[in-house]
Amino acid sequence: MAEEPSDRGLGSRAPRFVQESRTLHLSWRVGVFIVGLAVVVGGVLLLPLPGPGWLVIFAGVGVWATEFVWAQLVLRWTKRKVTAATRRALDPAVRRRNIMVTGALVIVVAALVAVYLWQFGWGPPWSGDR
């Protein structure tokens, strides 16, 4: 039976020859930390820009999780939360409620746009046409 990623033990995933040498393993950990940090910083920079910011941040945490136990625990917690949220979102009752709430919001926004257009017309209200 194939082992699930969550069933693997916590700890370093470095190759055995790297783990056997303390100096090499420390260098490996520093390298993994720097690469993960670069990916996370890139994801943070993508957050306000159009792009997959959160996906890149989680990829950086995934890089860290190859070496650091704390990152492995963060990744496991995140996977559990995302799985639970997906399960809840796919629940038919929740989907029906979300569709009804979205429909109500569309009606409210359409009414506000209609009132604005009735009051001010197509131009902006601060123009000097009044």
Cα 61 from Cα 11, distance rounded (Å): 14
Q: Which conformational region is residue 121 in: left (phi greater than 0), alpha (psi within -120 to 50 degrees), or beta?
A: left
**81 shares a domain with 100:** no
pLDDT value at position 95?
86
How does pLDDT run across 22-77, given as a tens digit for each residue? 888 888 889 999 999 999 999 999 999 888 988 999 999 999 999 889 999 999 99
Token reading at 53: 């910011």
**104 shares a domain with 54:** no
pLDDT value at position 26?
83
Cα 102 from Cα 50, distance rounded (Å): 24
Give me the domain span that covers residue 69. 5-90
* Residue 21 amino acid letter: S
- Please report which confidence band the pLDDT of residue 3 belongs to, taking 50, 70 and 90 as the band edges: very low
Res. 124: pLDDT tops 60: yes
**42 shares a domain with 16:** yes
**65 shares a domain with 49:** yes
Cα 79 from Cα 66, distance rounded (Å): 16
Res. 123: pLDDT tops 80: no
Residue with the two structure tokens 């604005």: 116
* Residue 115 amino acid letter: V
**73 shares a domain with 13:** yes
Enter the pTM of the model: 0.59
**75 shares a domain with 22:** yes
